[in-house]
Structure 1
Amino acid sequence: MLVTVGRIGRAHGIKGEVGLDVRTDEPDRRFADGATLVTDTKPPRTLTVESSRWHSGRLLVKFVESPDRTAAEQLRNLVLQAEIAEDERPEDPEEYYDRELIGLSVRTTDGEQAGEVIDVVHLPSQDLLEIRRPAGNAVLVPLVEQLVPKIDLDEKYVLVADRPGLLDPEGAEVTPTEPGDS
């Protein structure tokens, strides 16, 4: 099974390194020397990590297939995927692969059926669960413990602590910010 682990950014320097937008919680494992990754292109390309290092908070990777800056620039914006076993789990028990969350039913802490997880959206600041509500609309819920206190893979559900406007944006409370606002 292929799992997205990053997106290649701009070239760094003249020796073929590229910056990465990391999309894995295990970058040291996925971008270790000798690791092979495939691109999401048709046909897919295989890239082998020659070396990787952190520089100013950004992961820089040198692939065997990009010996210089010109070759590295040709890789820009490619999505990288790693082959993982179907039953593999992240090392941290509080982490999940997207494929494990998609399709889980969503319940509120009050016991109400609230929908189904249809996607996991990765943003720089946090991840979001995209949830299809029973009415057919979709909402985004930040994947933080205060709002998603429990994920039960065995029972196949996600527990969401509903707040005004979270699962029903139309029902959000509007609070005036200045006297006289309505």
Structure 2
Amino acid sequence: MTGVGVIVSSDNLIFVARIAGAFGVKGEVRLTTFTADPMALLDYRDLKREDGAPGLTLTSARPAKGGVVARAKEVETREQAEALRGLRLYIPRERLPAPDDEDEYYLVDLIGLSVVTPQGEPLGVVRTVHDFGAGDLLEIQPPQGASWWLPFTREAVPEVRMADRTLIAVRPEESE
């Protein structure tokens, strides 16, 4: 499993960073990153807006607390950098490197998987994956009714079958 932002837009774009504001007086931007390696943003270079329009073209970056400080082709002044505060930046899913092992996957690849019990009863589909600070949570959308949350732990999710696009889940009340 490889960590990367897991909010996916309708254009299959993956949320990887947010502009936190300006840094210094020469147009550098502070980026809060949502990638396992914050410096990976520089490898992606061309970051998109949520609608797929060009966002930032990174020309250099250096690590900073909570992310990176970067220079972008589109930003020349502190004022321009400040005006972009809060902008979410994305990359196309296909830009992510393939996992090294067939048992590895990106959390974003869980979105859309069918969720079934160990006995094969359908529970719904994975709608989103979030980490609110205490570990990854899967939002499960059942065929009818409100969605519910499932911790992404070995106990709650004993098996992920990527080839079958299925995730085996044990609802919390069932594991007690």
1:151 deviation in Å?
1.7
2:111 to 78, 102, 108: 102
Q: How does 1:158-177 map to 2 (within 5 A)?
A: 158-164=167-173
TM-score by length of 1: 0.72
* Residue 35 (structure 1) aligned with residue 45 (structure 2): yes
The answer to whether the 8 Å contact 1:118/1:130 transfers is yes
Aligned to 1:61: 70
SS at match of 1:164: helix
The answer to whether the 8 Å contact 1:105/1:115 transfers is yes
The RMSD of aligned alpha carbons is: 3.0
Matched residue count: 164
5+ unaligned residues in a row in structure 1: which ranges?
167-172, 174-182
Aligned to 2:94: 85
2:25 to 14, 19, 41: 14
* Residue 157 (structure 1) aligned with residue 166 (structure 2): yes
* Residue 24 (structure 1) aligned with residue 19 (structure 2): no
Larger Rg: 1
SS at match of 1:50: strand
In 2: Cα distance, 1:109 partner to 1:130 partner: 18
Identity of aligned residues (%): 33
Letter in 2 for 1:158: L
The answer to whether the 8 Å contact 1:11/1:69 transfers is yes
Aligned to 1:4: 15
Structure 1 residues 12 and 133: CA distance shift in structure 2, 3 A: same
In 1: Cα distance, 2:144 partner to 2:55 partner: 42
Bigger relative contact order, structure 1 or 2 (CA pairs below 8 A, ≥6 apart):
2
Structure 1 range deviating more: 115-124 or 68-77: 115-124
Q: How does 1:119-158 map to 2 (within 5 A)?
A: 119-158=128-167
The answer to whether the 8 Å contact 2:60/2:72 transfers is yes
In 2: Cα distance, 1:95 partner to 1:37 partner: 22
In 2: Cα distance, 1:112 partner to 1:88 partner: 34
TM-score by length of 2: 0.75
Structure with greater proportional helix content? 2
SS at match of 1:121: strand
1:130 deviation in Å?
0.9
1:97 deviation in Å?
4.9
The answer to whether the 8 Å contact 1:39/1:81 transfers is yes
